[in-house]
Structure 1
Amino acid sequence: MTYTAGLVAILAVVWLLLSGYFDKPLLLGLGAASVAFVVFISLRMRIVDDEGLPIQLPAGLVRYLPWLVVEIVKANVDVALRILRPGLPIRPRLIRVRAGQRTDVGRVIYANSITLTPGTVTIDTEGDHITVHALTEEAAEGVLTGEMDRRVARVEGAG
């Protein structure tokens, strides 16, 4: 029920913002009818489920994204230095880490965060394990410490 209410709220806000009609009762009524129709169809198609985008996720993302941006910038500088200074070592390796997230959405956020960080690429996800290609030992250690995993778990509300 919470997810249905969230869908109604999101659709209504998007409709209002895109239409720009805040003072025309007929158009507001048609917008409400459109939202109701889309929600009805979504429920009939069983698209609305517990896995969607949990309500607590956006609040957790507000805390997570600034940290992720800093990590991306640090990794960008590291990879750029390794490109500009060929003497700096690279030691590519594959590592397998456990994803501590409870949901598929959490695991996707974790895997994509790894890939967004230069020097690491998520190669495969299988169950609660993720295979990562790391360009350097430092990049591999950064993933193996589990800091990103813990932060994504907090986004989900687990920590």
Structure 2
Amino acid sequence: MLRIASLALALGITWLLWSGHVDPLLLGLGVLSIVIVLIVNRRMAAIDEEGVPFQLAGSIFAYWMWLVVEIFKSNVHVARIVLSPKMKISPTIVKVSAWQKSDLGQVLFANSIILTPGTLSLDLFENQVLVHALTKESALEVQAGEMNMRAARVMGSAGLEAGTEEEGRV
């Protein structure tokens, strides 16, 4: 019941922030849409620890703040490459071990890679993420493991040994 209430609250706040409308009719339609979403999610049994991970609420915000800074730095890096007359790109594909124990943690890590300009998660399989990087430096940064470790800490699985699986260039 706590997960349903927290999901309803999150959906309500999100709807209100995105719509910005406080007219009675629109508020009523917003509440109706939230109720429908809750009913459908409950019937699908999607309101569980992974579907509504409020246990991550404390650690995820710090991770997001760090990720925003990383995205900004990557944007500057990619802009320099693109605007450079020589366009010093060196496309690279690497395999990176995902240190997160849960599927949700691995998806968080893979999506964080996608959000960072100049890198793209191509595939996630057997605790491995196949990453395309615009430059070798970007590939090395992903392989260095800071994002991997931070995503593992958010999920509470930082206890996995870093780099135990072979990572390398494909």
TM superposition score normalised by structure 1: 0.75
Give the deviation of 1:150 after TM superposition. 0.6
CA distance in 2, matches of 1:59, 1:7: 16
- My pick for the range that moved more, 94-103 or 82-91, is 82-91
- Per the TM alignment, residue 134 of structure 1 is displaced from its structure 2 partner at its CA by 0.7
Cα contact 1:60–1:157 (8 A) shared by 2: no
Structure-2 change in CA distance of 1:73 and 1:12 (3 Å): closer
**In the alignment, structure 1 residue 54 sits paired with structure 2 residue 53:** yes
Match of 1:140 in 2: 139
Q: What SS does the corresponding residue of 2:95 show, helix, strand or coil?
A: strand
1:123 aligns with 122
Judged with a 3 Å threshold, the aligned counterparts in structure 2 of structure 1 residues 16 and 123 are, in CA distance, closer, same or farther, namely closer
Unaligned runs of 5+ in 2: 23-30, 159-170
Q: Which has the larger radius of gyration?
A: 1
**How far apart are residue 49 of structure 1 and its match?**
2.4
Structure 1 unaligned blocks of 5 or more: 21-30
SS of match in other structure, 2:140: helix
Distance 1:79 1:51 in 2: 34
Distance 1:49 1:88, change over 3 A: same
Alignment length (residue pairs): 151
What is the Cα-based RMSD across aligned positions, in Å? Answer: 3.1
Amino acid at match of 2:3: Y
User: Identity of counterpart residues, as a percentage?
Assistant: 45
Residue in 2 that maps onto 1:78: 77
The question of whether the paired residues in 2 share the 8 Å contact of 1:51 and 1:103 is answered with no
Cα distance in 2, alignment partners of residues 110 and 80 from structure 1: 24
Is the contact between residue 56 and residue 156 of structure 1 (CA under 8 Å) also seen in structure 2? no
Q: Residue 164 of structure 2 aligns with which residue?
A: none
1:84 deviation in Å? 1.2
Instruction: State whether residues 74 and 116 of structure 2, in contact with CA within 8 Å, keep that contact through their aligned partners in structure 1.
Output: yes
Q: Distance in 2 between matches of 1:137 and 1:45?
A: 43
Change (3 A) 1:150 1:2: farther
Instruction: Find the aligned partners of 1:82 and 1:11 in 2 and give their Cα distance.
Output: 39
1:3 aligns with 3
Moved more, 50-59 or 116-125: 50-59
Cross-structure match for 1:93: 92
Contact 2:50 2:104 in 1 (8 A): yes
Deviates more, 1:97-106 or 1:47-56: 47-56
In structure 2, the residue matched to 1:108 is: 107
